[in-house]
Each structure stands twice: as C-alpha cells, then as structure tokens.
Amino acid sequence: MKKIIIVVIASILYFSTAFAVTLLDALNQTYKNNIQLNAERENIKASEEDVNISKADYKPSLTISGSKSIENTNKLSNQSGGNATINDVDPFTTSIKLEQTLLDYGRDLTLKKNITALDLVKAKLVKKEQDILHNAIYAFTNLIFTRETLGINSKNLNLLIRQVENDKIRRDRGQITNTDLAQSESSLAGAQAQFAKSKSDLLISKLNYENIIGKISDPNKLQKNSNSIVSLPSTLDEALNLSKQNNPDILIAKLDLEKSEKDLAISESDLKPTASLSLQRSYSDDVSSTVDQKEQDILKATVSWPFYSGGKKRSTINKNSNLTTRKRLLLDDAVRTNETNVASAWSSLQSSESFLNSVKIQVSAAKIANEGIAAEYERGSRTTLDVIQSNALLLSAQISLANSEKNNLMAQYNLLKAVGLLNSQYLKLK
C-alpha cells in the first residue's frame, strides 16, 4: 500500500513539474510571438533593403527603350510648282543605354549612413526587447503574487468562518458576549470583501499576462522563481562597466550621432562635382523614303558641379550641423542618465533584499504569536479581539512577504535592464 501511495505522489509531482510554466518558457513565448517585437524585426528587413539600394548605386545601369509612331506629311506644292505630295513614314526606334557613375561623393556617404541606420534599428530592437521582456517578467511575477494573495485571503476567510462558528457556540454557552461575536462577524465581512478583491486582481493580472505573453489556462501552472534565471553583476562598479558596453540607450545615442554626422557630410557633398559616363546605341527604321534604317552610337561623359542654389544647400548644411550638435549633447545626457539609473537599480536591489529578510522574520514571529494566542483563546485567557488582531497581523505579514518576494525578483531584473543585459542574447531565448 505504501508503495502505491509513493508511486501516486511521485506521478503527481512529475506531471505538475512537467506541465509547469517557467519564467524562461514565458519569455521564450514572448520573444517569439509578441506583435511589437515582430514589427521591429520587419523594420530591420526594410533597413537592410536601404543598404542594398545604396550598394546598387555603385553598379552600372542598363536601359532599353523603344518607340513606335505614325507620321503623315502633306506637301501641297513645291517651289517649282510641282504637284502636291504625301509622305507616310512609320518609324520604329529602339535604343540601349549603359551608364556608370564615376564620381559621387554623396554615394559613399549614403552607403555608410544606411549601414549606420541599420545598426541603429538593430539597437532599437534590443531596447524594445528589454522593454517587452521586462513587462513580461512583471506580468509573470505579478500573476504569481495575485495568485498567492488570493490563496492567503482564502485561508484567512476559511479561518474566520470557523472563528465565527466557534464564537456562536461559545456565545450560546455564555463564554463570550454578543459584542465578541459581532467583532468576529465584522472581521469575516472584511475578509469576504478582501477575498472578492483578490479574485478580481487575479483576473486582471491574468488578462495582462495574456496580453503580453500569451494564453495561460491556469495561473497555478506558473512556477515561482526566487532568483534571476541569469547571473547578476556582483558589484556596483561591475554593473556600471557592463552598462557602458551594453546599455541600448547609450548605443542608440551613439548611432544617432553617427547617422547625424553622415547627414552633415552628405549635405556638404552636394557642393562637390559628380561625373558619369554613358554609352547609347539606337536603331531607327523607316526614317524616310530613302533611308531604311539608321544606327547611332553616342558615348557621353557628363560632369556637373553645382554653383548656386539660392542658399538652399548652405542652409541644409547649417541645419544638419545644428542637429549633429544636438545629438552629441543627447549622447552626453544618455551617459549621465545611465550612471544614475544603474546606481539607483543597484541601491533598490540591496534595499529589497534587506526588506525581504526583515519580512521573513516578521512572518515567522507572527505565526508563532498567532498560534500562541489561538491556544490561549481556547483556554479562555485571550479575547476574541486578541485573536482577530493576531490574525490580521499574520495576514498582513504574509501578503507583505509575497509582495516583497515579487519586488525583490523585479529589482534583480531592473538591474539587468539598467546594465543592458535584459535581452534575448543574454537570456538565451529562442
């Protein structure tokens, strides 16, 4: 019989583990299916085509054209007084043109700019990843928190139901007064209201989870994590150094500056000459009554150098210069803001760990006190009010513990986000 029980318990544990949804599962689901991330991936594909378009400017262009027309010429008289003539021609013209740009300062700069723009879009995807994955982690941990809160309030509700039932019996025996019973009933009503609110909070948390991550049939399937699924920086200095290398906000600001510098250089190149070479061959049929076919070859070299555009090009240069200065200032601001954010995230993590340890001690003490007061109540040395107050303190401590565990886990991921490591590569998502 014992063997059967052991097998049943082992089977239950196996299946509960097998079908549990881990945080890594949720993040993989988010990374794969989130609409915003998929939209950003399409933006990368578009930027890759911009690079291909720029590369195409280095290659020759080949143009084939053809035309067909009908011409009727009526000549009523000639100078010698001859009869009128009518000439009908039906010309057909085809041409093929090969053209190659030889000199274009803006061409090289445009390619470099589009490569930088592609890197910028990729950096923005990493930032979007961080934001979405951070939201997913919060949705995951908050659903667990509201689930635990509902469980705590459910136990408290059942406890108070039994308390009221016992107090009614004790009242009927004359052991307590109606006032004592009213206190229990009042606490029960409050517990019922809190239980109803917990159910509502759980539903809202579930909806938020499904909006960010995807469908979840049963919140109880979520596996609770106490620590981050990846390693964290061990010191503040390490966190700061990692952030300088990985924080997407800094990288975006750097690439924005580079792109702006390329725009400035492109606008300056508009004042420089361009050169091209083209070769065209054309064929014309039925040009006149005496010529059946005409062939023409044209080799053409073109050099252009803009001298005056009404000040438009110079103003464009000045504008891009101002924008470049702005981007340089924004980069400086991003660096300073990053240092502040990392230091704040580090401090919050240390604070949350200390608070969590204190709450654990509080819960342990509240349990001991509650058990003692409950036993003393049964012996008649404690009042109903003492029991109600003890239950309330334990309830508050348990909910505070669940919330502190959530906040501590979020503080860990807040630090990862601050240093720029809350991304698919570091989390090894697929």
Residue 302 lies in a domain: no
Residue 130 lies in a domain: yes
Split into its structural domains, the chain has a count of 1
pLDDT values of the chain reduced to their tens digit, one per residue, 430 residues: 444 434 434 444 344 445 689 999 999 999 999 999 999 999 999 999 999 999 998 899 888 988 877 766 666 555 565 555 556 566 778 889 888 888 888 899 999 999 999 999 999 999 999 999 999 999 999 999 999 999 999 999 999 999 899 889 989 988 888 998 999 999 999 999 999 999 999 999 999 999 999 999 899 999 998 899 999 999 999 999 999 999 999 999 999 999 999 999 999 988 889 888 888 888 887 555 555 667 888 888 888 888 887 888 899 999 999 999 999 999 999 999 999 999 999 999 999 999 999 999 999 999 999 999 989 988 888 888 888 899 899 999 999 999 999 999 999 999 999 999 999 999 999 8
At 278, list the tokens. Answer: 């083209």
Contact predicate 281/295, CB 8 Å: yes
Residue 97 lies in a domain: no
Domain residues for 131?
11-63+103-273+309-427
Contact predicate 419/243, CB 8 Å: yes
Torsions phi, psi for 353 (to 5 deg): -65, -45
Residue 220 lies in a domain: yes
Contact predicate 141/22, CB 8 Å: no
Residue 356 lies in a domain: yes
The CATH number assigned to the domain holding 392 equals 1.20.1600.10
pLDDT of 294 reads 77
How far apart, in whole angstroms, are the C-alpha atoms of residue 104 and residue 56? 13
Residue 73 lies in a domain: no
Residue 156 lies in a domain: yes
Residue 348 lies in a domain: yes
Contact predicate 264/324, CB 8 Å: yes
Q: What is the pTM of this model?
A: 0.82
Instruction: Residue 205: name the closest of 376, 27, 213, 425 by CA.
Output: 213
pLDDT of 7 reads 41
pLDDT of 383 reads 86
